[in-house]
Structure 1
Amino acid sequence: MDRSTGPDRAPLVGRAAELARLSAVGAPALVLVAGEAGIGKSRIVAELREHPDLLGHHWLVGECLPLREPFPLGPVLDALKGLDVFSPPVGRVDRVDVFPRVRAGLAELGPAVLVLEDLHWSDEATYEFLRFLCRGLPPKLKVLVTYRPESVRAERPVVDLAGYLPRWARAVETTVRPLRVAEVGELAAGLLGLTRVTAEFATRLHELTGGVPFVVEEVCRALPAEPAPRLADAPRSVLDRLTAPVALRGSIAERLAALPATVRDVVGAAATLGAPVDEHLLGRVAGLDRPTAAEAIDRALAHGLLRQCAPGLLATRHALATRAVIDLLAPDELRRAHRAAATVLADVDPVPHARLARHCKHAGLVADWVRHAEAAATRAVALGDGDTAVDLLADVVSGSGIDITTRARVAALLSRAAQPGLRHDEAVAALRAVLTEDDLPERPRGEIRFGLGMLLVSQAGKSGAGREQLRVAVTELADRPDLAARAMAALAIPSSTSGTVTEHLAWAKRALNMLGSFDDHAVHTAVHVNHASVLLYYGDPDGWPVWRAALARGSTPEARLHLLRGASNAADAALLLGHDARARDLLALIPTLVDQDSGLYTNRLVAGTRLRLDLAAGHWEGLPERIAHVLASAQAHRLPLLDAEVRLVGAELALATGSLADAEVDLRAVGERAELLTISQVAGVAAARARIALSGNRAQEALALLTPAVDLVRRHGNWGWAAQAVPQACAAMVALGDRAGAVALHREFADAVVDRDAPAAGAAALEAAGYVAPRAKAVDLFAAAEGEYEAMGRPYARLLAREALAAVLLDDGDKEAMVDVVAGFTDLGARWDAARCAQALRKHGVTPRHRGGRRGYGDALSPREAAVAGMAARGSTNREIAEALFISVRTVEDHVANALRKCGVRTRSDLPCD
């Protein structure tokens, strides 16, 4: 959903308790609503005006303004404008004459609420009038004032108004608090037009805004025009690049302007430091002695410009307030503040290298910047925090004022640091740039190129370009056999549609042969892990023993990082092979391998494998939501490989559940990104599109889709990856009368996978054999395939094999098997398949029985009506819809009519598309 669909008025979040309490207050009463700027005091007033219990009241609303010379009693006069209470005085306000007349006029109105907003800015006459009014508060009047406690003048504390009330009147005070993390997420979702945002997004947005609703709204409205689901999962790539909203900068500038220069100094120092610090350190950076700093800090706290985030630690109100203050500082002020921060922090033990790197960079201390950045990044890499290392190093590598020797050294560190993280875009750009330098020293060139190649292959979705970089790196790493071995091991992994089984195995062997030339435990583990991976992908029976041996090698943190990647590859391979239980065990193993945060690249990557496992296992409840969540994450963190994988899962699910148009769109889109896909994915896309064509009796189209994929597998040599495509190709050839061609393809496939440890390929060989075998034998072959899929735990694949068996029996007059298949697809939620099988039964004079009666949907669209409405909205004709969903044209017409009525629209184009 695009965020342009969000409401104009922000949803009210987290204020139910305040509204309930305030709406229940009876007259006469004084209601005090306190809270910092932007916290939502005025919104509460607006909601109260619409509350059912207060609709019969006169609402008189005035606003105090921050004017140097305010008009006496101006807010009260504004509130009474249009009412025949009294004529505004001319010139000086005569309190003795005016105050009683106004109170009498208010008393005559009956039930009324006098609202004075922002009372901290009130003029003296207005405040005096409120004191007078409270002493004799009319019995049907409620006075509601809003104010900022941090801006109240000492001589007018606001709460003292309660002391003037008679004993029969009630005083109620409510302080409006900042929103909690979950409430910030709920507000953001409403503003973006989403049902929800991720917990990560909500947490980061809360850190940026401090939970102040006004700031949350400003941030959401300032987000770039990108699809909302992507924005909702992009705490770094989107939120961290935002500038402070102009309204927030204005609010802070207004408060600073009214305070002494020393307050500006401590607030500027706090913003420059950008992290909680103690009072003494803050005073030193501000350049103030202790007494002066203490007084300035107290003033800043009182006016909401600083906060005490922990005992003894001070910081700005929130992250965006920090950015706002920085924006308000003049360049020379900011430069001096960073120099002061660098000087003060240099004495801290342990040395905060990351913070010092930032301050030295902005202070222009280049040599110190590089030194601290390298030290901080080295520690981050040791802790597995590659993203922080990339943040620290990418700017150094790209720095125009830094000598090439230094940049080359830092680029080599960057190339290592970026590999386990998610900030590959910045790293790739910096590494590519430094490799173009003519005076780049030869020694680090190969290491830098190796790191670039690894990033391009594994994260950037540019496997072809990455593999080329790795090939060149092998030739440049003559004096680094450890990195050369890693490059060879990476080239052994079949990460693209290029290469052959022979080539990949040759690279693995070359890498293994290099191990005797160096002694690096982690690199040895990496090479053995990749050797296991390539064997597993090819269904070699030796793959699992090699993997177990590699797993036993991981005795160091760096080696276990390689095992983490290996477990991801092994889980992917296991699922392709048909070892679904092993795949789940490997996914469960991953969190135990290393203690890393959930942002690690590999943890993002295996999310696609989990979705594929759920699809295969029939765990479809909530699967569309999980797919959408992972897809948003892939887009937000720019992981094109994961994006393509998840889109394919979504397309296959949409196909099974009846959203045929969505499935075709996504399958075509994934297929057009061939440069991102592995051979197994190319075959999977072709097989899914061929199923659609075969269901519509378009065998020639199906074969045209499948032939390039089969040829690609044949050239590569790993026939196990054609498990989805070969049965479909055999079925298409038989339908076209080319049984001999189908038999030849089946034999080629079966011979190639017979000695492979690949249950999925074995089941596919049985299916393909069923399509080319005589009818009597086909039943047994399809039954055997069904048994294989059942053993794997794949109910959908089992039902598809059962459907092929039932089709043979149906032609022989046995209808019961197809009836059971319809029931099985229906129970699983595979509506498209159930409809296809039901149509086959109807052609043989059988109407499938409904199980458990028909569900009533009332004014909501039924699943079938929703599917028809979606295709109609996209422009499909009734006949096209009927053919796709295996129903009659008359039924389509009925469903379209029902959908138009239920949705309250007149034309097909206005029907919902999803």
Structure 2
Amino acid sequence: METGPLGTTVDRSPPAVDRPPLVGRAAELARLSAVSAPALLLVAGEAGVGKSRLVSEFRDRPDAREGHWLVGECLPLREPFPLGPVLDALKGIDVFTPPVGRVDRVDVFPRIRAGLAELGPAVLVVEDLHWADEATYEFLRFLCRGLPPKLRVVVTYRPESVRMERPVVDLAGYLPRWARAVETTVRPLRAREVGELAARLLGLTKVTDEFAIRLHELTGGVPFVVEEVARALPAEPAPRLADAPRSVLDRLTAPVALRGSIAERLATLPPAVREVVGAAAVLAAPADEELLGRVAGLDAETATDAIDRALAHGLLRQGGPGMLATRHALATRAVIDLLAPGDLRRAHRNAAAALAGADPVPHARLARHCRHAGLVEDWVRHAEAAATRAIALGDGDTAVDLLADVVAAAGVEIDVRARVASLLSRAAQPGLRHGEAVSALRAVLAEDDLPPRRRGEIRFGLGMLLIAQSGEASAGRGELRAAVPELPDRPDLAARAMAALAIPSDSSGTITEHLAWATRALDLLGSFDDHAVHTAVHVNHASVLLYSGDPAGWPVWRAALARGTTPEARLHLLRGASNGADAALWLGHDARARELLELIPTLVDEDPALYTVRLLDGARLRLDLAAGRWDGLAERVANVRAGAGAHRLPQLDVEARLVAAELALATGSLADAEVDLRTVAETGASLQIPLMTAAAAARARIALSGGRADEALALLTPALDAVRRQGNWVWAAAVVPLTCAALASLGERVRASHAQAEFAEAVAGRDAPLADAAVRLAAGHVARKASTGVDEFGAAAALFDAMGRPYAACQAREETAAVHLGSGDKQAMLDVVAVYTALGARWDAARCAQVLRKHGVAPRHRGGRRGYGDALSPREEAVARMAARGSTNKEIAEALFISVRTVEDHVANALRKCGVRTRADLPWDFPRSS
């Protein structure tokens, strides 16, 4: 701040809005605020830890605003202007005129102190005192000896950069007895605080613990580095970044500001210090002095002196008793970036030589050093050894990191790359690093001189990755079909390929073809003896039976469960349990799905990095949606989508998005539902048929509620045709009843009856409660107002009750209530409104309430209306979202079952509460109301 001639206070700092949020500094801030004048406040901390930010926050506190704030900054100049920071702080103050030419300490120092005393209450801030010129430092000593009674002096500095001949804390020794000296050390943030800061910088409510911990490892808890990382994150939607510990954070380079800060410190130190810091960065793990010295190429005495200096300047840290490392992971990357290529290569060679004699041999570390040192044969040897060890420990992602670069390296012989590619394909299947593996496998398959005996193995591995993880199921199935004839000498892999082709993972093929592949895989089991592969084949046989609603599916699954006795076989059981839970939900066996989800932790340790365990999150969301457990569901969906985006799991993202859409539709966020449903529909042929039918059903419900039966039929027909082509009719449970409803609404009851009959015949004898309920619902729509329709709707509702699906049961009862309403019985519809309201299904409750109003009945509202103050109510929010996206008042009224006048009121309220003037300025992406 500056003080003008009339004593007005002018703030010369950047606007507060540009400042990063202050996190984890409550104790330090309270300590500073508690000190009254006269006082010396010493604020210490390493570079970037937030000293200036803390002082800035201190300045803005009500108890510190009185009087003048005078701020000067010491700069790292080779020949700084004497007393420059102090003179800069005093600019604009009439009580002192800066001298021209040389600074006469005897004349100037007393005049400045007298001027400060005349100001009254004041705070003099000198930033970065470790860079101060001699005159500035001498003036502060002089000032402290006679500190004016209404002055507080605040000094920030880096302890590691202070010269030993003039330690900053000595200033406290010059204070008179009536003045106070307080030292505050600003520490790095803890992992939890790093997570809080990152969330606020990214505009999120919170980030996952995994993200916070990894970000803390990368940044060492230094706020400046956290802020730089937040700025450097790719331009993806923030929720996708909130759960990105490896796929996003590990790909970041060191921010340029961090590299500059480290370069500035290294430039002032002897070459030996740069060598040991570079050695620590190359090793990338805590090391003792002897190892650092060997990698740096220094003798013991020189290395010890250099290490001491590096520690004193904050370039190294103690990573444990006698162990040394760089400050944090991003500092390691910054130092690597600053090393010359020749120096980097030499340091890696030294590291490889130093670690070669260790026991046990650190293969993973040696692989990295040999690679960067250009020792290709040693790199491949150590990478294979480390990857084999990682696979044995269940860490496939680490194995992928080690092997993918070998497979993709043009300088490695093709026979070697082919051998490593086979290992890579096995390593990648249970993990999440499939993108790197897929790219490497495709590259090696394109080689003309690839050994034939390896081609089938590699193609099999690629197909398994594509079909399971990469959202390329059709391409994966193509690779597996091509691999089968290429594996004459590997019946175990051929059986695995056939078993994988048995799973209906996309809309291609028919259920008959899938069952045929399962049979072919079973027939191969007698030609080899591999317990894990036998388990995998039986698991997939059970899975295809379950997906088709075959009553034999569950007995076959129980038999397969008894087979898994080895760790590898139990991984296949984990996948089978995932398939079983997925199939059970589409069949309507919700209790069985829940049992399978509870079984999974007993099969293997539930490692959150496992691909299959991640996919189970989608089944859990669908189970909660069906069971009416909607409290906090939107937040859980957002977290799952964050993980799916971060780890590139498109199928999981689609599944979670569908749950979000169906929840948004039920709770009244129609605009959000339509956006998500369109996105799901645009996924195309790679979309699994159950997801396709569910998305089509939700979109058709919206159309039918608006009286657009022809539009609903157009949405449902492609999904129904896909089911008809595949032949697995249990997956049509979502679309057949709505198809019958649309046809009946259009007066085509004969077509509706044929559709219901075709479905009923196709699912007869299937073990699929959801299909049974759909048969009854479809029959109810065909009969509609007849007493038969009431009975069919009632039977469907009872089936949904048995499944534990209250929302679906209420939808069936709504159809019954609509029939009763036509004959004058209004209580059934009132009961339906009450159930919808209790569930939180605001859209459905509003629709039924509108029907009741047309019959002269106003549903009773239980309890008083919640006050939302300046926040948008759920209904105002729904209206605002649709208005922001361009919907007219009439369109909004029809979609939300309210009057146009009510829409106008809600739009007006939303404009006022959001502080905008036009509908186009309304936000459409604000958090949804709970």
**Normalising by structure 2, what TM-score?**
0.96
Matched, 1:48 2:58: yes
- Secondary structure of the corresponding residue to residue 145 of structure 1: strand
Matches within 5 A, 1:325-340: 325-340=335-350
CA contact (8 A) 1:683 1:721 kept: yes
Structure 1 residue 454 corresponds to structure 2 residue 494: no
In structure 2, the CA distance between the partners of 1:596 and 1:389, relative to structure 1 (3 Å rule), is farther
Which residue is 1:892 aligned to? 903
Q: CA deviation at 1:743?
A: 1.8
1:779 aligned to 2:785?
A: no
Name the CA distance, whole Å, in 2 between partners of 1:382 and 1:727: 50
The alpha-carbon deviation at position 91 of structure 1 amounts to 4.2
**Secondary structure, in 3 states, of the residue corresponding to 1:308?**
strand
Give, as a single letter, the amino acid of the residue that structure 1 aligns with 2:495. Answer: A
Matched, 1:383 2:393: yes
Partner of 1:693 in structure 2?
Answer: 703
1:164-183 equivalences under 5 Å are 164-183=174-193
Q: Secondary structure at the match of 1:31?
A: strand
Instruction: Write the distance in 2 (CA, Å) between the matches of 1:250 and 1:661.
Output: 47
From 736, 756, 761, the equivalent of 1:751 is 761
Q: What is the rounded CA distance, in whole Å, between the counterparts of 2:484 and 2:208 in structure 1?
A: 42
Aligned residues of 2:600 and 2:606 also touching (Cα < 8 A):
no
Q: 2:800 aligns with which of 789, 796, 801?
A: 789
Contact 2:709 2:746 survives alignment (8 Å): yes
1:115 aligns with 2:111: no
Cα deviations across residues 857-894 of structure 1 (Å, max 9, x unaligned)?
33322222221121111111111111111122222222
Task: Please state whether the residue corresponding to 2:236 is helix, strand or coil.
Answer: coil
> How much does 1:395 deviate?
0.8
Equivalent residue, structure 1, for 2:833? 822
- Cα offsets for 1:346-401 (capped at 9, x unmatched): 11111111111111010000000011111111111112211111111111111111
- AA at the equivalent of 1:536: L
CA contact (8 A) 1:384 1:596 kept: no
How does 1:133-212 map onto structure 2 within 5 Å?
133-212=143-222
Unpaired segments ≥5 residues, structure 1: 1-5
634, 637, 650: which one aligns with 1:627: 637
Shift of 1:480: 0.2
In 2: Cα distance, 1:296 partner to 1:856 partner:
66
2:8 is matched with none
Contact 1:634–1:642 (CA<8 Å) still a contact in 2? yes
Is residue 258–residue 334 contact of structure 2 (8 Å, CA) maintained in 1? Answer: yes
2:668 aligned partner: 658
| Paired residue type of 2:695 | V
Counterparts of residues 866-885 of structure 1 (less than 5 Å)? 866-885=877-896
SS of the equivalent of 2:42 reads: strand
Give unpaired runs (5+ residues) of structure 2: 1-15, 926-930
* Equivalent residues in 2 for 1:528-677, closer than 5 Å: 528-677=538-687
What is the deviation of 1:57? 2.1
Once the two structures are TM-superposed, the CA of residue 7 in structure 1 deviates from its matched residue by 6.0
1:160-179 deviations in Å (ceiling 9; x for gaps): 11112121111100000011
- Partner of residue 511, structure 1: 521
Counterpart of 1:830 in structure 2: which amino acid?
A: A
For residue 36 of structure 1, give the secondary structure of its aligned residue in structure 2: coil
Contact 2:532/2:568 (CA < 8 Å) preserved in 1? yes
Match of 1:620, SS?
A: coil
Change (3 A) 1:539 1:445: same
Conserved 8 A contact 1:526-1:563:
yes
Once the two structures are superposed, residues 556-605 of structure 1 have per-residue CA deviations (whole angstroms, 9 ceiling, x without a partner) of 11111111111110110111111111111211222222225312111211
Task: Provide, for residues 645-697 of structure 1, a one-character-per-residue CA deviation record: whole Å limited to 9, x for no partner.
Answer: 11111111111111112212221221121222111111111111111111122
Relative to structure 1, the CA distance from residue 715 to residue 89 in structure 2 (aligned partners, 3 Å threshold; closer, same or farther) is closer
Structure-1 residue corresponding to 2:139 = 129
Residue 48 of structure 2 contacts residue 224 of structure 2 at CA under 8 Å; is this kept in 1? yes
| 2:481 alignment partner in structure 1 | 471
Moved more, 753-762 or 431-440: 753-762
What does residue range 2-13 of structure 1 map to in structure 2 within 5 Å? 8-13=18-23
Q: Which residue of the other structure, out of 319, 322, 334, is the alignment partner of 1:324?
A: 334
* Matched position secondary structure for 1:851: coil
RMSD between aligned residues: 1.5
- Identity level (%): 80
Rounded to whole Å, the distance in 1 between the matches of 2:75 and 2:683 is: 58
Render the CA deviation track for 1:608-656: whole Å, top value 9, x for unaligned: 1111111101111111111111112212211111111111111111111
- Alpha carbons of structure 1 residues 261 and 904: separation in structure 2 relative to 1, 3 Å: closer
C-alpha distance in 2, partners of 1:248/1:734? 68
- Matched with 1:3 is none
Query: How many angstroms does 1:905 deviate by?
Result: 2.3
C-alpha distance in 1 between matches for 2:176 and 2:624: 68
Structure 2 contact 606–613 (Cα < 8 Å) conserved: no
1:7, 1:191 within 8 Å by CA — same for their partners in 2? no
The 2-side partners of 1:95 and 1:708 are apart by: 89
Distance 1:84 1:865 in 2: 56
Matches within 5 A, 1:127-526: 127-526=137-536
Q: Which moved more, 1:855-864 or 1:103-112?
A: 855-864
Question: Which amino acid in 2 is paired with 1:856?
Answer: G
Number of aligned residue pairs: 909
8 Å contact kept, 1:723–1:760: yes
Q: Which amino acid aligns with 2:468?
A: S
Q: Which moved more, 1:106-115 or 1:330-339?
A: 106-115
Counterpart code for 2:85: P
- Determine the C-alpha separation between the residues in 1 that align with 2:924 and 2:72: 47
Offset, 1:104: 2.0
Most deviating of 352-361 and 669-678 = 669-678
Note the C-alpha offset of 1:193.
Answer: 2.2
Letter in 2 for 1:647: R
Contact 2:843 2:896 in 1 (8 A): yes
Q: Could you say which residue in structure 1 is the equivalent of 2:5?
A: none
- Offset from partner CA, 1:685-716 (integer Å, 9 cap, x none): 11111111111222222222222222221222
1:117 and 1:858 map into 2 onto residues whose CA distance is 44
Report the 3-state secondary structure (helix = DSSP H, G, I; strand = E; otherwise coil) of the residue aligned with 1:167.
coil
Q: Would you say 1:718 and 2:721 are equivalent positions?
A: no
TM-score (normalizing by structure 1): 0.98
Q: Distance in 1 between matches of 2:366 and 2:207?
A: 34
Task: Indicate the SS of the match to 2:710.
Answer: helix
**Whole-angstrom distance in 2 between the partners of 1:373 and 1:74:** 57
Choose which of 829, 849, 853 in structure 2 pairs with 1:842: 853
Cα 1:902/1:70, change in 2 over 3 Å: closer
Deviation at 1:90, TM superposition (A): 4.2
